[in-house]
Protein backbone atom coordinates (compact mmCIF):
# COMPACT_ATOMS: atom_id res chain seq x y z
CA UNK A 1 0.00 0.00 0.00
CA UNK A 2 1.86 3.01 -1.31
CA UNK A 3 0.60 5.95 0.74
CA UNK A 4 2.95 8.50 -0.80
CA UNK A 5 3.32 8.56 -4.58
CA UNK A 6 5.58 10.42 -6.93
CA UNK A 7 4.24 9.59 -10.36
CA UNK A 8 7.02 11.21 -12.36
CA UNK A 9 10.21 9.19 -12.14
CA UNK A 10 12.18 11.89 -13.93
CA UNK A 11 12.04 15.55 -14.90
CA UNK A 12 14.34 17.73 -17.01
CA UNK A 13 14.35 21.50 -16.66
CA UNK A 14 16.40 24.25 -18.27
CA UNK A 15 18.75 26.12 -15.94
CA UNK A 16 17.13 29.31 -14.63
CA UNK A 17 13.59 28.04 -15.15
CA UNK A 18 11.20 26.73 -12.50
CA UNK A 19 11.26 23.07 -11.46
CA UNK A 20 7.99 21.66 -10.14
CA UNK A 21 8.01 18.30 -8.44
CA UNK A 22 4.73 16.68 -7.49
CA UNK A 23 3.60 14.25 -4.83
CA UNK A 24 0.25 12.66 -3.97
CA UNK A 25 -0.76 10.94 -0.76
CA UNK A 26 -3.66 8.87 0.46
CA UNK A 27 -3.49 9.03 4.26
CA UNK A 28 -5.40 12.05 5.58
CA UNK A 29 -3.80 11.54 9.01
CA UNK A 30 -0.36 12.73 7.91
CA UNK A 31 0.85 15.59 10.13
CA UNK A 32 3.85 16.89 8.25
CA UNK A 33 5.16 16.68 4.72
CA UNK A 34 8.79 16.94 3.78
CA UNK A 35 11.06 17.05 0.78
CA UNK A 36 14.48 15.45 0.70
CA UNK A 37 17.19 15.66 -1.92
CA UNK A 38 19.57 12.80 -2.60
CA UNK A 39 22.82 12.64 -4.51
CA UNK A 40 24.28 9.27 -5.60
CA UNK A 41 26.07 7.36 -2.83
CA UNK A 42 24.86 9.84 -0.21
CA UNK A 43 22.01 9.84 2.25
CA UNK A 44 18.89 11.96 1.75
CA UNK A 45 19.29 15.60 2.79
CA UNK A 46 16.37 17.48 4.30
CA UNK A 47 15.20 20.44 2.22
CA UNK A 48 11.93 21.82 3.51
CA UNK A 49 8.82 20.75 5.39
CA UNK A 50 5.25 21.89 5.82
CA UNK A 51 2.70 21.29 8.53
CA UNK A 52 -0.67 19.88 7.50
CA UNK A 53 -2.32 23.05 8.81
CA UNK A 54 -0.44 25.25 6.35
CA UNK A 55 -0.74 25.53 2.59
CA UNK A 56 2.62 27.07 1.77
CA UNK A 57 6.13 27.23 3.16
CA UNK A 58 9.04 29.03 1.57
CA UNK A 59 12.78 28.81 2.14
CA UNK A 60 14.96 30.68 -0.31
CA UNK A 61 14.58 29.13 -3.77
CA UNK A 62 12.39 26.34 -2.44
CA UNK A 63 8.64 26.58 -1.87
CA UNK A 64 6.36 23.74 -0.88
CA UNK A 65 2.63 23.94 -1.55
CA UNK A 66 0.06 21.71 0.13
CA UNK A 67 -3.46 21.12 -1.19
CA UNK A 68 -5.16 19.01 1.46
CA UNK A 69 -8.44 18.63 -0.39
CA UNK A 70 -6.60 17.13 -3.35
CA UNK A 71 -4.09 15.29 -1.12
CA UNK A 72 -1.34 16.79 -3.21
CA UNK A 73 1.85 18.66 -2.53
CA UNK A 74 4.45 20.15 -4.77
CA UNK A 75 7.97 21.52 -4.51
CA UNK A 76 8.89 24.54 -6.58
CA UNK A 77 12.53 25.39 -7.18
CA UNK A 78 13.19 28.73 -8.77
CA UNK A 79 15.51 29.52 -10.38
CA UNK A 80 16.79 26.01 -11.04
CA UNK A 81 20.56 25.55 -10.85
CA UNK A 82 22.83 22.73 -12.07
CA UNK A 83 23.53 21.72 -8.45
CA UNK A 84 19.84 20.96 -8.05
CA UNK A 85 20.24 17.87 -10.23
CA UNK A 86 19.47 15.01 -7.83
CA UNK A 87 16.70 12.62 -6.80
CA UNK A 88 13.95 14.32 -4.79
CA UNK A 89 11.89 12.35 -2.30
CA UNK A 90 8.57 13.44 -0.92
CA UNK A 91 7.84 12.15 2.59
CA UNK A 92 4.99 12.35 5.07
CA UNK A 93 4.84 11.72 8.78
CA UNK A 94 2.17 10.49 11.15
CA UNK A 95 2.24 9.74 14.85
CA UNK A 96 3.02 11.49 18.08
CA UNK A 97 6.35 12.27 19.66
CA UNK A 98 8.62 9.26 19.73
CA UNK A 99 6.26 7.14 17.68
CA UNK A 100 6.43 9.07 14.46
CA UNK A 101 6.77 7.26 11.14
CA UNK A 102 8.09 8.84 7.98
CA UNK A 103 6.74 7.38 4.73
CA UNK A 104 8.66 8.13 1.54
CA UNK A 105 7.70 8.27 -2.10
CA UNK A 106 9.88 6.55 -4.70
CA UNK A 107 11.57 9.72 -5.82
CA UNK A 108 11.81 11.93 -8.92
CA UNK A 109 15.13 12.36 -10.66
CA UNK A 110 15.56 16.04 -11.54
CA UNK A 111 18.06 16.98 -14.22
CA UNK A 112 18.91 20.64 -14.76
CA UNK A 113 20.07 21.31 -18.29
CA UNK A 114 22.73 24.07 -18.54
Partner 1 sequence: DTAVSQTPKYLVTQMGNDKSIKCEQNLGHDTMYWYKQDSKKFLKIMFSYNNKELIINETVPNRFSPKSPDKAHLNLHINSLELGDSAVYFCASSQGGTAYYGYTFGSGTRLTVV
C-beta of 77: minimal distance to partner 1 in Å?
Answer: 17
Could you say whether residue 102 binds partner 1 (CB under 8 A)? yes
Could you say whether residue 83 binds partner 1 (CB under 8 A)? no
Query: CA 90, 96, 97: angle at the middle one, nearest 5?
Result: 100
For partner 1, which residue of 13, 21, 23, 34 counts as binding (CB under 8 A)?
Answer: 34
Q: Which is nearer to partner 1, 47 or 112 (CB)?
A: 47
Q: Which is nearer to partner 1, 76 or 109 (CB)?
A: 109
Could you say whether residue 67 binds partner 1 (CB under 8 A)? no
DSSP 16-66: TS-EEEEEEE--TT--EEEEEEE-TTS--EEEEEEETT-SEEEETTEEEEE
Amino acid sequence: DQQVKQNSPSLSVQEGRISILNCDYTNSMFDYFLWYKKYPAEGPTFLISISSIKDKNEDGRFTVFLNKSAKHLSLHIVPSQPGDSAVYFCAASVGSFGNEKLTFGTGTRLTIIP
